[in-house]
Structure 1
Amino acid sequence: MLRLLHTADWQIGKLFGQFEPDQAALLADARYKAVERLATLASEQALDLVLVAGDVFDAQGVADRTIHRLFNALAAFSGRWVMLPGNHDAALSESVWTRAARLHAIPGKVTLCLTPEPLLLEELGVAILPAPLTQRNTFSDLSEWFASAETPPEMLRIGLAHGSVQGILAEAIDSANPIAAGRAEQAGLDYLALGDWHGTRQVDARTWYSGTPESDRFRANQSGQALLVELAGRQALPAVTPLNIGRHCWRSDALTLQVPSDVEQALQHIAKFSTDDVVQLSLSGQTDLAGHRRLRNAIGQAEGRVHSLLADLSALRLEPTADDIDALQADGYLGEVVDELRTQQEGSNAEVARDALTLLAGILDERRRDAGRAANAEASVGARAGTAADPGAGTRAGGPAGIIAGGAL
């Protein structure tokens, strides 16, 4: 029985430029932590081998510190690691791998598959057939040689490749680094470990994508996992178990608001975002000014609670009600401006009109609140002055409650 861990697409050194710098730094750090969890898991499970099917690094030009830190993250598992260059860290004549070698950063337990030739691990009874990428994009199937590769008959045959299985993934992904469907059966493989697709996906009985162990995209593709693979012997079907590894949950939520009750549901939805969520939230439809204000407040609170929240309200139309207009005291010219902005939300400048309406409503609402606070303060001062002149006035007016109520009115 051979027991191994199949993982891929670590993309160490990823920058996450769409986020604030502090959030991006934490997301980048989470990728190291995922590798550390992989190493700990492999040790705890007493596994024989860890296969990394490409894209260990996100780019060739990562810092020396990044290289050292990555290989240090492997410390918990003393068994063998086998790594394959992918499209982000291809085995160029001068690459992140040659630099890692010059830095003496690669521990002895790590084997790099830089050339397409069998790697015979006699102590484990397994032959690894790798298809390393030697450039970022290729248009020929680098796994084609697997079928003609001769390996000892008693050894398990495991393929290791990074690319897109033709006819399985989206056409846009199939354009480069192709892998023929049915490669495992055609090449007599016991298992084919693939990388490039960032989610866990079974291609056939012997072929799997492990996905990235730490999610990095807003795509519902079962990412954040690694695969525990058990092989009982030659030609036996592999037993594959997905294992949760990642910390952050990337979610892309789209909410459409049409009626007032939709705002309440949206608020409840936002309230459920948790600490480790990385959220892409889009709101569309329509709401009144009060609903818009409540949504903005809820989003602001969520931004302080979750790891990251990217909110897009550009498709949410503002529809002030008559009560909204009355509350804003937008009569006369201001009322005409509000009406004009409402109308312009249907034209080519809809986003500008919506932003202007939101800004104007905020200004008017704040002005109304300031006026209310000033009136309350003036009434409170007057009440205190009256009480000082006549100590019994507060009691005759109903005590402190009467003064506060009077001030509020």
Structure 2
Amino acid sequence: MKFIHTADWQLGMTRHFLSGEAQARFSQARLDAVRSIGQLATDEECEFVVACGDVFESNQVDRQVLTRAFDAMAATPGVTFYLLPGNHDPLDAASIYTSHSFKERRPANVVVLDGSEPIEVAAGAELLAAPWTSKRPLADLVDRAVDLVGPSDALRVVVGHGVLDARSPDKRDPALVSLSRLEERISAGEIHYAALGDRHSVTNEGTTGRIWYSGAPEPTDYDEVDPGKVLLVDLAADRCVVESRRVGTWAFELVEQRLTSDADIDTLQSTIDAVTDKERTVLKLALVGQITLAQSDRLDRLLEHCVDRFAAVEEWKRRTDLHVLPDDIEAETFGLSGFAAEALDDLRGLARSSDDSQAAEARDAMALLYRLTRSAS
């Protein structure tokens, strides 16, 4: 059988660094990805889609998000979407999956994986679900899901969410998913594929080729490796072919660079200009080095332009260490006299102060003064 493996849609997600207009486009892109997943399943003649947890950002998402998600899935009525509750949207007392709005508006092709009984998804093929019922499970839910069912000749896919023990530094966490147990069960023929969610990067785990994280269909942060994809799985007892397919349209780009000259700023500008789909890219900058007032002014203008072009521009504060060091020749180019020239001399002295905070404020003031005098001329 063929199916789509996806996870971590996190519909309703917001990002503090996105303005209202950019946030609206970001939210729409996540819904568009769901629609694209359904279309991909149709084009590839897949029996179904499994969404392995964190379908929604939380159990308290706006009702409009839920309605539009249902519209996106209902757009391909021939494809059944199986939704697994994860740590963001667990099956607890406040679960979105048991809400009146969910029950009232759910399309016929949307099924919640909320129980332990095997679900037949094709002739001789079953899903074993490991839904989260709280934000802090006290057991390996994936291993337990397989334990709860008896032996079968059916082709079985276990659908889970969580961190594999092989990836976690906290080995005491009872909710960790055991990689060795999954491999043992695959070798024994108890299951034939483990569809996992939680890790936002496409990842083939272990050595069987049958244990995968699909990653998130739209990226959410800079440290994700190969996000924006889903997995097309062609599965049989003796065959498992997994292909990644891109559905995402957004990107998180990190640019780290040392600046000490105009040539370095030229390189930074070229790097930024080379980014495609800027309106759907969140840019984070980590700049280090020492630049002059004139170069600082040029950099400020470049970054102002970036703010207008990109979805958002952030400074990576922990990795940023950029200093403005005005020299005497540049100071003379201000063209000031009288009290203004005396004030400038005072700022130059403060800029060399051993008090880092005071020196930084003085340099900022000189940079602003430089820009104002340049604009006036």
TM-score of the aligned structures, taking structure 1 as reference length:
0.82
Cα contact 1:252–1:279 (8 A) shared by 2: yes
Q: Deviations over 1:123-172 (max 9, x none)?
A: 34211111100001224211122443445643111110000001225x26
The equivalent of 2:158 in structure 1 is 159
The equivalent of 1:317 in structure 2 is 323
The whole-number CA distance in structure 1 between the counterparts of 2:269 and 2:58 is 40
Check 1:102–1:71 CA distance in 2 against 1; reply closer, same or farther (3 A cut). Answer: closer
The equivalent of 1:270 in structure 2 is 272
Cα contact 1:184–1:190 (8 A) shared by 2: no
Cα contact 1:163–1:179 (8 A) shared by 2: yes
The whole-number CA distance in structure 2 between the counterparts of 1:29 and 1:144 is 36
- The percent of aligned pairs where both chains have the same amino acid is 25
TM-score of the aligned structures, taking structure 2 as reference length:
0.89
Check 1:270–1:366 CA distance in 2 against 1; reply closer, same or farther (3 A cut). Answer: same
The equivalent of 2:204 in structure 1 is 202
The equivalent of 1:390 in structure 2 is none
Cα contact 2:52–2:85 (8 A) shared by 1: yes
Q: Deviations over 1:51-70 (max 9, x none)?
A: 10001100111122211111
The whole-number CA distance in structure 2 between the counterparts of 1:152 and 1:112 is 24
Cα contact 1:139–1:178 (8 A) shared by 2: no
Cα contact 1:118–1:149 (8 A) shared by 2: no
The equivalent of 1:223 in structure 2 is 227
Could you tell me how far 1:324 is from its partner in structure 2? 1.6
Cα contact 2:297–2:371 (8 A) shared by 1: no
Partner AA of 1:46 in structure 2? E
Could you tell me how far 1:213 is from its partner in structure 2? 0.1
Could you tell me how far 1:360 is from its partner in structure 2? 2.9
Q: Deviations over 1:207-241 (max 9, x none)?
A: 1110110111121411111000111x22x241111
Partner AA of 2:43 in structure 1? E
The equivalent of 2:2 in structure 1 is 3
Could you tell me how far 1:245 is from its partner in structure 2? 0.9
Cα contact 1:16–1:28 (8 A) shared by 2: no
Q: Deviations over 1:329-349 (max 9, x none)?
A: 4675334323333324x6442
Q: Deviations over 1:154-209 (max 9, x none)?
A: 3111110000001225x269947310012332223211000011111111221111
Cα contact 2:54–2:87 (8 A) shared by 1: yes
Check 1:111–1:357 CA distance in 2 against 1; reply closer, same or farther (3 A cut). Answer: same
Partner AA of 2:223 in structure 1? R
Could you tell me how far 1:279 is from its partner in structure 2? 0.8
The equivalent of 1:342 in structure 2 is 351
The whole-number CA distance in structure 2 between the counterparts of 1:151 and 1:48 is 24
Cα contact 1:12–1:66 (8 A) shared by 2: yes
Cα contact 1:328–1:365 (8 A) shared by 2: no
The whole-number CA distance in structure 2 between the counterparts of 1:203 and 1:329 is 65
The equivalent of 2:31 in structure 1 is 32
Partner AA of 1:194 in structure 2? L
Between the two structures, name the one with larger relative contact order (CA 8 Å, sep ≥ 6).
2
- What SS does structure 1 have at the residue aligned with 2:50? strand
Could you tell me how far 1:312 is from its partner in structure 2? 5.3
Partner AA of 2:307 in structure 1? E
The equivalent of 1:291 in structure 2 is 295
The equivalent of 1:243 in structure 2 is 245
Cα contact 1:228–1:240 (8 A) shared by 2: yes
Could you tell me how far 1:82 is from its partner in structure 2? 1.1
Could you tell me how far 1:368 is from its partner in structure 2? 5.5
Cα contact 2:117–2:149 (8 A) shared by 1: no
Could you tell me how far 1:10 is from its partner in structure 2? 0.4
Q: Deviations over 1:33-80 (max 9, x none)?
A: 111111111111111110100011001111222111111111232222
Structure 1 gaps of 5+ residues are 373-409
Check 1:177–1:357 CA distance in 2 against 1; reply closer, same or farther (3 A cut). Answer: same
Cα contact 1:100–1:106 (8 A) shared by 2: no
Could you tell me how far 1:100 is from its partner in structure 2? 5.2
Check 1:174–1:315 CA distance in 2 against 1; reply closer, same or farther (3 A cut). Answer: farther
The equivalent of 1:99 in structure 2 is 99
- What SS does structure 1 have at the residue aligned with 2:141? coil
- What SS does structure 2 have at the residue aligned with 1:178? coil
Could you tell me how far 1:120 is from its partner in structure 2? 2.5
The equivalent of 1:179 in structure 2 is 177
Cα contact 2:53–2:87 (8 A) shared by 1: yes
The whole-number CA distance in structure 1 between the counterparts of 2:201 and 2:172 is 16
Could you tell me how far 1:284 is from its partner in structure 2? 1.5
Could you tell me how far 1:265 is from its partner in structure 2? 1.4
Check 1:333–1:294 CA distance in 2 against 1; reply closer, same or farther (3 A cut). Answer: same
Which deviates more, 354-363 or 240-249? Answer: 354-363
Cα contact 1:219–1:252 (8 A) shared by 2: no
- What SS does structure 1 have at the residue aligned with 2:53? coil
Partner AA of 2:349 in structure 1? E
Partner AA of 2:88 in structure 1? H
The equivalent of 1:108 in structure 2 is 108
Check 1:102–1:293 CA distance in 2 against 1; reply closer, same or farther (3 A cut). Answer: closer
Partner AA of 1:255 in structure 2? Q
Number of residue pairs matched? Answer: 363
Check 1:106–1:40 CA distance in 2 against 1; reply closer, same or farther (3 A cut). Answer: same
Could you tell me how far 1:118 is from its partner in structure 2? 1.8
The whole-number CA distance in structure 1 between the counterparts of 2:42 and 2:33 is 14
Could you tell me how far 1:273 is from its partner in structure 2? 3.0
